[in-house]
Amino acid sequence: MTTARPQEAAEPKVAYLGPRGTFSEEIALGFYREVEGSFTPYATIDAVIRAVASGEAAEGIVPVENSLDGSVNITLDTLAHEVDLRIFKEMVLPIRHNLLTRADTKHINVILSHPQALAQCRSYLRENYPGAELVAVESTAAAAYQVASGAKNHAAIGSLRAAGLYSLAVIAADIQDNPHNSTRFIVLVRDGKIASEAARKTSLICQINGEKPGSLHDILGEFARRQVNLTKIESRPARTGLGQYIFFLDAEGSLEDGNVRASVEAVREKSLWFKSLGSYPVCMVKSQDE
Amino acid sequence: MTTARPQEAAEPKVAYLGPRGTFSEEIALGFYREVEGSFTPYATIDAVIRAVASGEAAEGIVPVENSLDGSVNITLDTLAHEVDLRIFKEMVLPIRHNLLTRADTKHINVILSHPQALAQCRSYLRENYPGAELVAVESTAAAAYQVASGAKNHAAIGSLRAAGLYSLAVIAADIQDNPHNSTRFIVLVRDGKIASEAARKTSLICQINGEKPGSLHDILGEFARRQVNLTKIESRPARTGLGQYIFFLDAEGSLEDGNVRASVEAVREKSLWFKSLGSYPVCMVKSQDE
């Protein structure tokens, strides 16, 4: 799975949502050769993105969407409102959640995890631990770390890798509510660096005139009439008042394709505000849990 | 602001996201005459919605969208996937956040609030408390309650009403990142009960064939060609795999209007799956903080 780079090329500094044992780290391990100091875990998604924007890191790996819980809003909002970065690559990882405790745990009354992991195991938790307090922490791995070093009646939802890293017992495996659980991660970069694989997807953000009936219909028509398929459309607040939105659009194909480029250019011209996140390849990642 | 009901009519059992001091309670207080036992706080949004679905409560008040942080996913997902309820009324409340501590607090190293409140004060917190640990809890009022009864170096983000209820000091007022901060709440009901005011908005949920280019464009065209304005379009995972979505659409106007009804009927026919949340009035609420 590792795409080995020429020996002489310096490894890029890769920022990811830490601590060790997160799904973001799994992505990093699958795609980069880890050399001393080349991987840097950050405590929040926000911090990973800012590290790339400031030049502290050359590449940053963050989750952008889960198949059950939807978009990771902090990723979308930071890309839209606070930095100018490009997507270098998208990677899709199947997600499996497990309930982890210390070996000496008999009774669980507090369960920690990332808010999206808690959400993805909502039915399991309601059935099996209806009285437990659910505590949101920054990542699944942070939850595992806190359980390993914390109270005996606490449990974490996390990966088998996190269980191994923090020496926790796996009380229940595959506890996610839905088998169709996978997460899209994106690798963010600053400059015009080109991925070695062919770009298959193009992302953009735009704000249109929401007061005018049919504005969004008109924008989508630019893609439909050129037979360009949109794989995603997501609205997020423009932050200028209720009812005012920006739209994140993912289109199949690369800006190298004339139809995609023409659609995107037409949207740019019709938008009040527009930002391109570029074209990039998409890879499926095999989970290290398997 | 209170719409007094006839003396003889029994007050409905109203479920809201508690504990006392939440914005949901502010909405309840603004619109219902509180009589002994008529208001019931629930610990989670999920629990409020289920209380209405099961008949435990006649009406349930939950937040559905904030102007900065976007949709409240648990509200949308529960309405789509787990219950069959209708929107009786929408209420829009301006939101002001404040930093609250015990009177004897000198130093703050942990800040608790609802995840959306933490998100809405992200810039303020990064500038003023970059080292503080941010802890997500179920509501702004739960955060205030925990600070009042907890450690001295903790602070909560909450309303002035919560400060008053839990005897906390207001360290900083109006700390939200953006002045355009308001939240839409919806009142959910089971049956075909009709609001006394005129319905101004119609909501529906549909799943369309995402594999076919232009499917969403086609759906939006049903509204555009009849000059019906969409005030919101939101995609959420269909939970059947990455790239498969359901859409929440809010249209201006009532199903009593022929154009709205015809648009909605056309969408119903073109959808793989469809759910109507009905037509309802929209009210602006003056914050009790003012």
A175-185: per-residue pLDDT in tens? 998 888 899 99
DSSP A6-43: PTTSPPPPEEEE-STTSHHHHHHHHHS---TT-EEEES
| Residues 6 or more apart whose Cβ sits within 8 Å of residue B169 | B100, B101, B102, B103, B105, B163
Q: Identify the pLDDT of residue B1.
A: 41
Is the pLDDT at A2 greater than 60? The verdict is: no
Helix (H, G, I), strand (E, B) or coil at B122: helix
pLDDT band for A63, please (50, 70, 90 cuts): very high
Q: Which residues of A touch B239 (CB under 8 A)?
A: 67-68, 178, 180
Cα separation of B232 and A60, whole Å?
32
* Range B25-38 average pLDDT: 73
Give the Å distances, CA to CA, from A246 to A205, A209, A242.
7, 10, 12
Please report the residues numbered 210 through 269 in chain B whose beta carbons come closer than 8 angstroms to any beta carbon of chain A: 210, 213-214, 216-218, 220-221, 223-224, 227-237, 239-243, 245
Query: Which residue in chain B has the smallest CA separation from A119?
Result: B74
Task: Tell me the pTM.
Answer: 0.81
Q: Please provide residue A156's backbone torsions phi and psi, each rounded to the nearest 5 degrees.
A: -120, 150
CB pairs < 8 Å spanning A and B: 116
Please report the residues numbered 57 through 116 in chain B whose beta carbons come closer than 8 angstroms to any beta carbon of chain A: 65-70, 73-74, 92, 115
* Range with the poorest average pLDDT among A147-156, B31-40, B221-230, B278-287: B31-40
Q: Identify the pLDDT of residue A3.
A: 46
> Could you say which of 2.40.128.20, 3.40.1710.10, 3.30.2130.30, 3.30.70.260 is the CATH number of the domain covering A201-280?
3.30.70.260
Contact B148, B102 (CB under 8 A): yes
Q: Please provide residue B150's backbone torsions phi and psi, each rounded to the nearest 5 degrees.
A: -120, -145
The CATH fold assigned to A14-94+181-193 is D-Maltodextrin-Binding Protein; domain 2 (3.40.190)
Query: Which residue in chain A has the smallest CA separation from B232?
Result: A243
- Residue A78 burial (C-beta neighbours within 10 Å; 0-12, 13-18, 19+): buried
Q: Identify the pLDDT of residue A29.
A: 80
pLDDT band for A68, please (50, 70, 90 cuts): confident
Q: Identify the pLDDT of residue B7.
A: 42
| Sheet strands side by side (includes B230-237) | B230-237, B245-252, B201-207, B273-280
Long-range contacts of A7-10 (CB under 8 A, 24+ apart): none
The CATH fold assigned to B14-93+181-193 is D-Maltodextrin-Binding Protein; domain 2 (3.40.190)
- Please determine, looking at this structure, whether the domain spanning B98-172 carries the CATH number 3.40.190.10: yes
Is the pLDDT at B287 greater than 80? The verdict is: no
pLDDT band for B288, please (50, 70, 90 cuts): low
Q: Identify the pLDDT of residue A35.
A: 59
Bridge partners, B126 (sequence order) = none
Q: Which residues of B touch A64 (CB under 8 A)?
A: none
- Residue B159 identity: S
Is the pLDDT at B5 greater than 80? The verdict is: no
* Range A66-81 average pLDDT: 90
pLDDT band for B11, please (50, 70, 90 cuts): low
Is the pLDDT at A126 greater than 50? The verdict is: yes
Give the Å distances, CA to CA, from A170 to A119, A145, A163, A180, A258.
19, 14, 7, 21, 51
Tell if the CB–CB gap between A115 and B136 is shorter than 8 Å: yes
Tell if the CB–CB gap between A224 and B217 is shorter than 8 Å: yes
- Domains A14-94+181-193 and A98-172 agree in fold: yes
Q: Identify the pLDDT of residue B194.
A: 72
Contact B170, B97 (CB under 8 A): no
pLDDT band for B153, please (50, 70, 90 cuts): very high
Q: Which residues of A touch B69 (CB under 8 A)?
A: 73, 237
Tell me the percentage of chain A whose pLDDT exceeds 70.
91
Is the pLDDT at A32 greater than 80? The verdict is: no
Q: Which residue ranges make up each domain of chain B?
A: 14-93+181-193, 98-172, 201-280
